Amino acid sequence: MSSYILITAARNEEAHIEKTIQSVVSQTILPRKWVIVSDGSTDRTDEIVQKYACEHNFIRLVRSQNDANRNFGSKAKAVQHGYSLVKDLTFNFVGNLDADVSFAPDYYRHMINQLIENPRLGIVGGVRFDLCDNKFRRIECAQNSVGGPFQFFRRECFEDVGGYQTMPFGGIDAVAEITARMKGWEVRSFPEYKIYHHRCTGAATFSRVGFNFNYGIKNYLIGYHPLFFCAQSMFHGARNKNIVHPFLRIAGYCWAFLRGHKRTVSGEFVRYLRAEQRTRLKSMITTGKDQTKGFFHEQQIDHQSS
């Protein structure tokens, strides 16, 4: 039987983490090891995790103190630290799992089966539903993209892309999956498998204004093609009937450009990403269809649990 490990970076998640733990301990195929890195938590997160760790020997609580403030760079460091503690074990798959999601008991069995059936698949996952205004709302994304809170990797793919890079403005999940595609791996989300995310994206860190402005900065730093980013932002606004958010996103993108923010991704990465995006734009212009079946849905809308 193929085995997997999970890594969770959590900071002050006492309101949600028990739902995540109950989802994992109920799986029909349990992980070989689940490392939960409590990244400077000051609430009851550690207490809740330790209670379950005493009952399930595959759960390991690790306390870490990275940056004082919640940010994506801190999350990447926490995941890297967690992986360093299990990399010498024998396993086939590795999952990044945020501390505020829940899912069905057969979720990981289905993900493993998808990876076994297609050796070229490097990253798989379900489709996310965010809890906003007391209702779960489906978050649309391209078919060749997997939500950051639950990316599930073939081990060879995870190590091939180098895990998660430290990026303070976010995009660590997007960079991982784009790098995977650049290296020849397939990335696929499966809408029949639902992940319930128990807060609105960005709610842990930003106001909606701040989230959208930061989204523009993040996508400039990742290397998004400016025409593609503008088209995607306008489509997002039209779909959500909001005329302000697209301009906030574009303003963040332009601000990062004018400030001369240095990208941490390689030139090769930017060229690959922009080639993908030019192909999608051309497909939309000539056929009215997006080959990724995402119709300009975001490749990633970063969420942050750490």
Choice between 296 and 89, residue whose per-residue pLDDT is larger = 89
Query: 116 and 89 in one domain?
Result: yes
For residues 231 and 139, membership in a common domain is answered with no
pLDDT tens readout for residues 135-173: 999 988 889 999 999 999 999 999 999 999 988 788 999
- Residues of the chain with pLDDT > 70, as a percent, come to 89
Distance between CA 24 and CA 19 in Å, rounded? 9
* 84 within a domain of the structure (yes/no): yes
Provide the pLDDT for residue 289: 65
Is 176 in the same domain as 250? no
pLDDT at 95: 98
pLDDT value at position 1?
62
87 falls within a domain: yes
The total number of structural domains in the chain stands at 2
Residue 301 lies in a domain: no
Do 187 and 79 share a domain, yes or no? yes
What average pLDDT is seen over the chain? 89
**Mean predicted confidence (pLDDT) in 76-91:** 95
Residues 6+ apart with CB under 8 A from 134: none
In tens, the pLDDT along 5-26 reads 999 999 999 999 999 999 999 9
| Confidence label for 74 from pLDDT (cuts 50, 70 and 90) | confident
> Based on the domain organization, do 182 and 229 belong to the same domain?
no
pLDDT, mean of residues 63-72: 64
Transcribe 80-142 into DSSP letters.
HHHHHTTTTS--SEEEE--TTEEE-TTHHHHHHHHHHH-TTEEEEEEEEEEEETTEEEE----
Do 280 and 139 lie in one domain? The reply is no
Residue 222 pLDDT grade (very low, low, confident, very high; cuts 50, 70, 90): very high
**Domain hosting residue 212, numbered range:** 208-287
Q: Which of 13-27, 111-125, 286-300 has the lowest mean pLDDT?
A: 286-300
Given a cut of 80, whether residue 46 has pLDDT beyond it is yes
| Domain containing residue 99: CATH number | 3.90.550.10
